[in-house]
Amino acid sequence: MLVTETAVGRVEAKARPVVAAEVAGQVVDVLVDVGARVKQGERLLTIDRTAYGAELKAATADVRRIEAQLENQERLLKRYQDLSQDDFVSKTQLEDIEASKRVLIQQLEAARARVEIVARNLDKTDVVAPVDGEVVVREVSVGDYVRPGTALFEITAADLLQIILPYPEVIADRLSPGQRVLLRLNREDSVEAEGVVTEIRPTIDARSLSADIIVEVTNPGGWKPGASVDGTLILEERTSVVVPDVAVVQRPKGAVVYLIEGDKAVQRYVKTGVWTQDEIEITEGLEGGETVATFGAYYLTDGAPVRVKEAIR
């Protein structure tokens, strides 16, 4: 027998990144609009790259100039080192040449780093999708001027979803990661999904007096962020005797069921456990396998004659 608790929650995307500009410039091309499905790395928008291309050429030329100066300095240093062996140059002159070489090496490192920065900025003029998903917000149009940090698009990664389900605080102590949850959209044609509790939010909502659990699932097909979802949380799985709810009758001395033995109804007092929508757990009084009266049981008495039309075990 499954001990369950149901709740109505909502579907959210596991990832919903806001794509922002990383460089400044004028937007010259927008390739997607709201509703477009995009793949990770797909180009979404292009920022004018003219200035960045020219800057890269200048930075590259600067590297080549310093490389040529360093090459000349190395030749000069080699010549001074040879002359110093015959005492044709002073030690001070040699040290000055070596110091100039070190300065050029440092300048070359800085120039090469500058090339890397400019090349990266040039690359960032093409704005690409960070994840597979669907464009849900577009903030810019061709001709807009953007700066680093300007929001351009919002994308939902709809392949991986998280389901937020609120459960009453009275069962908060029974919630734990790893519990199974059966999921179904609140519509007739919904496919079903199953996941496990991945997170329990640590606070109780003051308005609803509920604790939220989070279930991560792969999109079973057609589920969209924002949709409502029915979640059945499996709190416990028991091996128990269960009977249809109509089989249990409340009498002054307690709950009874009526066993069908031959052509008579035999009253049996029982103790009940968990009640579900259409079944009741019997913790004492039945062994399992007995035939019990269901519909019409309320009108029976101990020893009453019966005629069985259909047996339900």
- pLDDT per position as a tens digit, 135-160: 999 999 999 999 999 999 999 887 88
Question: For residue 309, is pLDDT > 80?
Answer: no
Fold (CATH) for 2-14+156-237 = Elongation Factor Tu (Ef-tu); domain 3 (2.40.30)
Q: What is the arithmetic mean of pLDDT over 265-279?
A: 85
Task: Give the pairing type, strands 133-138 and 180-185.
Answer: unpaired
Q: What is the pLDDT of residue 215?
A: 94
Q: What is the pLDDT of residue 202?
A: 81
Length of the chain: 313
Give the separation between CA 108 and CA 115, rounded to whole angstroms.
11
Which residue do the tokens 């399992």 mark? 288
- For residue 258, what are the CA distances in angstroms to 194, 254, 276, 311? 38, 13, 20, 12
Nearest residue to 261 via CA among 304, 294, 297: 304
pLDDT tens profile 118-130: 999 999 999 999 9
What count of other Cβ atoms lies within 10 Å of the Cβ of residue 181? 25
Fold (CATH) for 50-123 = Helix Hairpins (1.10.287)
Q: What is the arithmetic mean of pLDDT over 220-236?
A: 87
Q: What is the pLDDT of residue 312?
A: 46
Domain segments of the chain: what residues?
Answer: 2-14+156-237, 18-45+132-154, 50-123, 241-299
Q: Report the share of the chain in percent with pLDDT over 70.
A: 98
Question: For residue 311, is pLDDT > 70?
Answer: no
Question: For residue 1, is pLDDT > 70?
Answer: no
pTM for the whole structure:
0.60
Give the separation between CA 309 and CA 11, rounded to whole angstroms.
47
Give the separation between CA 308 and CA 264, rounded to whole angstroms.
10
Question: For residue 224, is pLDDT > 90?
Answer: no
Q: What is the pLDDT of residue 228?
A: 92
Letter for the amino acid at 200?
Answer: I
Q: Which residues contact 80 (CB under 8 A, 6 or more apart)?
A: 89, 93, 94, 97
| SS3 track for 72-107 | HHHHHHHHHHHHHHCCCCCHHHHHHHHHHHHHHHHH
CA angle 232, 215, 199 (to 5 degrees): 115
Q: Which residues contact 150 (CB under 8 A, 6 or more apart)?
A: 20, 21, 139, 140
Give the E-state strand segments of 101-209 in sequence order: 126-128, 133-138, 145-146, 151-168, 180-185, 192-204
Give the separation between CA 224 and CA 187, rounded to whole angstroms.
13
What is the phi/psi pair of residue 70, to 5°?
A: -65, -40
SS3 of 7, please? strand
CATH, domain range 241-299: 2.40.420.20
Task: Calculate helix-pair angle for 91-123, 50-85, nearest 10 degrees.
Answer: 160
Give the separation between CA 24 and CA 42, rounded to whole angstroms.
20
Nearest residue to 175 via CA among 5, 290, 1, 2: 5
What is the phi/psi pair of residue 99, to 5°?
A: -65, -40
Q: List the structure tokens of 102.
A: 């070190």
Give the separation between CA 69 and CA 228, rounded to whole angstroms.
69
Fold (CATH) for 18-45+132-154 = OB fold (Dihydrolipoamide Acetyltransferase, E2P) (2.40.50)
